Amino acid sequence: MNVSSNLNSLKSVLGGRNIYLIGMMGSGKSLTGPSLAKRLEYSFVDLDVVLEKATGKLIQVIFEEDGETNFRQLEKQVLTATGQRHSLVVATGGGVVTLSANWGVLHQGIVIWLDPGRDRLLARLRKDTIKRPLLETKDPEKVFDQIFATRAQLYAEADLHISVQDESAEQVAQNIIDQLPSILSL
Ligand code: S3P
């Protein structure tokens, strides 16, 4: 079978089910998502962006003014609304996995964990210009390690685990396309 017929059978088996990208801050969900969506002829949605548009506030401001618990409730609402739609690649916020109710939505689609590993994540976050409110502390590395330790087993609930090195977003998207058949009995 040639490449385009492989892609067509992948799309047909997916049947419009949403694809949720999960993983720690800095794992490349928002960068990889558009490239993956383009390949699958899906639309791309970034949950953090939808949440900021819906509230008219930056994530950072929501954390400051309303606190993390309220942020998680908003995130759940935005995820639930997004789950009503189909044919989407969704970049989730790193903490979406922490509410068990969110898994009800995530598992209606295909869940993919992007995992660059601790050291690569920290290196990326050091360079990143986007502020991560949870890491605005005296010892961000220590806090990062604590968060990662509690979340690793949740990320491992994903349908597909993609180890990421220093590939481009396009290459990561292609790796996902190449590995999806293994979990879809193709
Ligand atoms: C968070 C990750 C962020 C954003 C918020 C909380 C987290 O999204 O939702 O700052 O708890 O890990 P990214 O994973 O896109 O950075």
Domains of the chain: residue spans and CATH = 15-173 (3.40.50.300)
Please answer whether residues 182 and 175 qualify as being in contact, where contact means their C-beta atoms are separated by less than 8 angstroms.
Answer: no
Looking at residue 1, its pLDDT comes to 55
What does pLDDT average to over the chain? 96
100 C-alpha to ligand 1 centroid (Å): 17
* Residue 121 CB less than 6 A away from ligand 1: no
DSSP state of 15: T
Task: Give the predicted TM-score (pTM) of the model.
Answer: 0.96
Parallel/antiparallel/unpaired status of strands 110-115 and 88-91: unpaired
Residue minimizing CA distance to atom 16 of ligand 1: 25
Question: Range with the lowest mean pLDDT among 3-12, 34-43, 52-61?
Answer: 3-12
Give the residue with greater pLDDT, 29 vs 6: 29
For residue 4, the CA-to-ligand 1 centroid distance in Å is 35
In percent, the amount of the chain with pLDDT more than 70 equals 99
